[in-house]
Amino acid sequence: MHKILSTVLALALVTAAAVPAQADPATDARAAAPPDVTVAFAVYDRDSARTTLRFNEHQQIRSASIVKILIALDYFETYGATTPIPEADLALLVPMLRSSDDDAASELWVRLGWEKIVERAVVRLNLRDSAPPVNVGFWGYTALSAADVVTIYRHVLEDAPAPVRDFVMGNLSEATKCATDGFDQSFGIPSAVPGRVAFKQGWSRFGDVPPRPCVEPKPRRDLGASKDGPERAATPDLTRPAMHTTGTYGHKIMAVLTLEPEGTTWDESARRITALTGAVYLADRIIGG
């Protein structure tokens, strides 16, 4: 009997060694981007109230234009959710959310209190990883994480007053292909996720001029190019090119944040984050999300 048990145990050990460990869907999805690209992502299922896929979700990464959602939320906190929005402010809020208008964001950033916008959001939304920019003159230096982006969208969808939710998500669902500065913001979620999506993109350190003219729709306003500010090292990383895609589809919230090696072109980064977003979407589907 002892010999039989020993033989069975040996066979079991050989079989176990021959069978690869169960793959981690998040790790597999991360492999869609090269190792020298910093990757963080999270997918949240609102039906089950849980994060279904995550990788590096608490790493602080500079926000670029994702912070514009916080600027919009702070506007409504300041002026009220039901107060009619003046036409002059609509001309700032709408292109800021739909077309990532930098000058509109800068005007509201200054008016609403600079870094105080982020400080208030951290407390109000209980953001774990977010912090004001080290240089308050540059809103895109705000630190956040993929997990905090999910929290921001959850706040908009679940906790914000209905007029705020409808305004923010309504404009994100009408996001334009072309940003105000002429860059094509159709990378990531709008290209990789099927069906109707609402999205807010972010990018930084790709220069002031897009690699080619963006094909319609034409930018709504001509307010000049975005300025990234002085190049200096800090935490989070302020020097490497950043490209982020965030948004909603169905009952899901997705945030995919990346930092590229210095010198990466816009086209290469856009291809990478779109492939990565597709891999994240498929991995979440595979695990039953």
pLDDT of the residue at 23: 75
pLDDT for 8-58, tens place per residue? 334 333 433 443 445 799 999 999 999 999 999 999 999 999 999 999 999
- Where does the pLDDT of residue 238 fall: very low under 50, low under 70, confident under 90, or very high at 90 and above? confident
- Note whether residue 18 is domain-resident: no
Task: Say if CB 13 and CB 19 are below 8 A apart.
Answer: no
**H/E element holding 45?**
strand 38-45
| CB-based contact 237:205 (threshold 8 Å) | no
Determine the pLDDT at residue 225.
30
pLDDT value at residue 215: 86
Q: With contact defined as beta carbons under 8 Å apart, do 218 and 178 qualify?
A: yes
Q: Does 234 have pLDDT greater than 60?
A: no
**Domain carrying residue 119:** 24-286
Does the pLDDT value for residue 229 go beyond 80? no
C-alpha Rg value of the chain to the nearest Å:
21
248-253 mean pLDDT:
98
Report the C-alpha gap between 142 and 126 in whole angstroms.
16
Q: What percent of the chain has pLDDT over 90?
A: 83
Domain membership flag for residue 244:
yes
**Residues in the chain, how many?**
289
In a domain, residue 9? The reply is: no
Q: Is residue 73 part of a domain?
A: yes
d(CA 73, CA 164): 8
Number of structural domains in the chain: 1
**Angle at alpha carbon of residue 178, lines to 176 and 183, rounded to 5°:** 145
Cis previous bond, 236, omega within 30? yes
Mean pLDDT of the chain: 89
- Residue 7 belongs to some domain of the structure: no
Within a domain: residue 14?
Answer: no
pLDDT reported for residue 168 = 99
pLDDT at 7: 40
The helix/strand/coil state of 47 is coil
Phi and psi at residue 256, in whole multiples of 5°? Answer: -125, 115
| Whole-angstrom distance, CA of residue 60 vs CA of residue 260 | 15
pLDDT at 265: 98
pLDDT digits (tens, 9 = 90+) for 133-184: 999 999 999 999 999 999 999 999 999 999 999 999 999 999 999 999 999 9
**How confident is residue 132, by pLDDT bands cut at 50, 70 and 90?**
very high
Amino acid 227: pLDDT = 36
Residue 184, token pair as written in the block: 């094509």
pTM, whole model, 2 decimals?
Answer: 0.87
Within a domain: residue 94? yes
CATH of the domain at 132: 3.40.710.10
For residue 288, the model assigns a pLDDT of: 73
Express each pLDDT in 102-119 by its tens digit.
999 999 999 999 999 999
Residue 235, pLDDT score: 64
Among 97-111, 206-220, 271-285, the range scoring the smallest mean pLDDT is 206-220
Q: Is 183 among the domain residues?
A: yes
DSSP run (H or E) holding 25: helix 25-30
Q: How much is the pLDDT for 224?
A: 32
Q: Tell me the two tokens of residue 182.
A: 């002429």
What pLDDT score was predicted for residue 22?
58
On the question of pLDDT at 248 being above 60, the answer is: yes
- Does residue 196 sit in helix, strand or coil? coil
